[in-house]
Amino acid sequence: MRLVMIDNYDSFTYNLVQLFYEFDLEVLVFRHDAVSLPEIDALQPDWICISPGPKAPAQAGISKAVISRFYQKIPILGVCLGHQAINEVFGGATVKAPAPVHGKRHQVFHHGRGLFAGIPSPFAAARYHSLMASPRSPELEVTARTGDGVIMGLSHRRYPLHGVQFHPESFLTAHGHALAENFLRLGEGAKGRSPGVSPGDLSPPHPDSLPQSHIMV
């Protein structure tokens, strides 16, 4: 089984690679300016991960093009910058967060379905960002937030396309292994290889049902 990692020149990329190595995957890493869409297509990856990065999605090389090209047929996980890139592909904006947060643990609230199945809510997660996603598309659902309403997770309503603003690979994040396992499992279910995954598991809860104290207004 093969995962392609798009590296946005980030120091955390190989921590993500190590996380996926725990599942005995072949992980192929490409810098965002050193691979083409046809080359990725020829590799026939089972999953794609868009790494964090030090800048904004506009400076993320091929990342947004990869999402646009493959999200309907290959499961994709975007982390931090990758999460913001997913949002921009669907017409959302990347805006300044209320306050920059780097190397801090915060509680993340979610509903325990899809990408967050079997993970306590809330759980502690590592944040390293000064920008955040501001989604506008009805195709994306908010799946997780901080206690003060900052969006921590997005998923496509139909396809196995998921983004998380926090860093699941960080030692500061609890349950990062479980989240990665859920991503791989949901992707297998979407491709019809895992009969144990029901279609309902692929649809994250609607953000309107999150506790009101955790809704951004």
Active site residues: 80, 167, 169
Which sign, positive or negative, has the C-alpha torsion 20, 22, 25, 27?
A: positive
Cα distance between residue 58 and residue 202, in whole Å: 29
Measured in degrees and rounded to the nearest 5, phi and psi for residue 153 equal -155, 140
| Residue 87, token pair as written in the block | 């949002």
State which amino acid sits at residue 60: A
Identify each DSSP E strand in the chain by its residue range. 2-7, 26-31, 47-50, 76-79, 93-109, 123-134, 140-146, 151-156, 161-164
Measured from the Cβ of residue 201, the count of other Cβ atoms closer than 10 Å reads 18
Q: Longest C-alpha distance within the chain, in Å? A: 46
Length of the chain: 217
C-alpha separations of 86 from 51, 105, 127 in Å = 12, 23, 18
